[in-house]
Amino acid sequence: MASEKVDNERRAMRWGLTCDKGECQERVNKNGKEVFEVCKFKPTINQVEENTQDSPSCHYYMQKYDALVSKHSLWNYHAFFTIMKFNKKLFEEYLDRKITVFDEAHKIEDQIIQFVGFDIFSGQIDECNLNSEKYDFTDLDSMIQLTDDMAFSYAKKIKDIKESAAFQNNPDYELITGLERRHDRSTQAKIDIMSDKDNFIVNNPVKDLNGNFRIISVKPIDVSKFANSFFETEYQIFMSATIDKSSFCENMGLRQDDVAFVDTQKSPFPIENRSIELLNIRRLSYGSTEEDELEVIKTIDRIMDEHSDERGLILTSSIPRCQKIIRYLSHKNTQRIRICHSKNKDGKTQDEVISEHATDPTGVLLSSSLWEGVDLKDDLSRFQIIAKVPYPNYTEKRTRAKMDKFPLWYTSQTLTKILQGFGRSIRSEDDWAKTYVLDTAVNNVFFKGQQMIPKAYYDVLGMDNV
Residues lying near ligand SF4 in the complex (CB under 6 A) are found at 1, 19, 22, 24, 39, 41-42, 58, 60-61
Closest CA relative to residue 388, chosen from 341, 413, 426, 421? 421
Rounded least distance, CB 169 to ligand SF4, Å: 29
The number of residues making up the chain comes to 466
Asked if 117 and 219 count as a contact pair (C-beta separation under 8 A), the reply is: yes
> CA–CA separation, 175 vs 158, rounded Å?
9
For 327-393, give the DSSP string: HHS-HHHHTTEEE--SB-TTS-BHHHHHHHHHT-TT-EEEESSTTSS----GGG-SEEEE-S-----
| Nearest distance from C-beta of residue 53 to ligand SF4, angstroms | 12
Contact by Cβ (8 Å): 438, 296: yes
Q: Is 262 left (phi over 0), alpha (psi -120 to 50) or beta?
A: beta
Continuous segment of H or E residues that includes residue 233: none
| Contact by Cβ (8 Å): 25, 172 | no
Could you tell me the strand order of the sheet in which 276-282 lies?
A: 276-282, 434-439, 383-386, 312-315, 364-367, 337-339
Given the complex with ligand SF4, which of 41 and 230 has the nearer CB atom? 41
- Min. distance of Cβ 39 from ligand SF4 in angstroms? 3
Backbone angles phi, psi at 150, to 5 degrees: -65, -45
Helix (H, G, I), strand (E, B) or coil at 50: helix
Minimum Å gap between C-beta 24 and ligand SF4 is 3
- Going 321 to 324 to 329 to 334, the CA torsion angle's sign is positive
* DSSP-assigned beta bridge partners for residue 102: 238
Q: At its nearest, how many Å lie between ligand SF4 and the CB of residue 337? A: 39
Task: Say how far apart CA 17 and CA 15 lie, in whole Å.
Answer: 5
Smallest CA-to-CA distance from 392 within 382, 402, 384 is with 402
Pick the closer one to ligand SF4 by CB: 59 or 302. Answer: 59
Please state, in angstroms and rounded to a whole number, the distance separating the CA atoms of residues 112 and 89.
Answer: 19
Q: For 58-99, give the secondary structure using H, E and C.
A: CHHHHHHHHHHHCCCCCCCHHHHHHHHHHCCCCCHHHCCCCE
Amino acid at 191: I
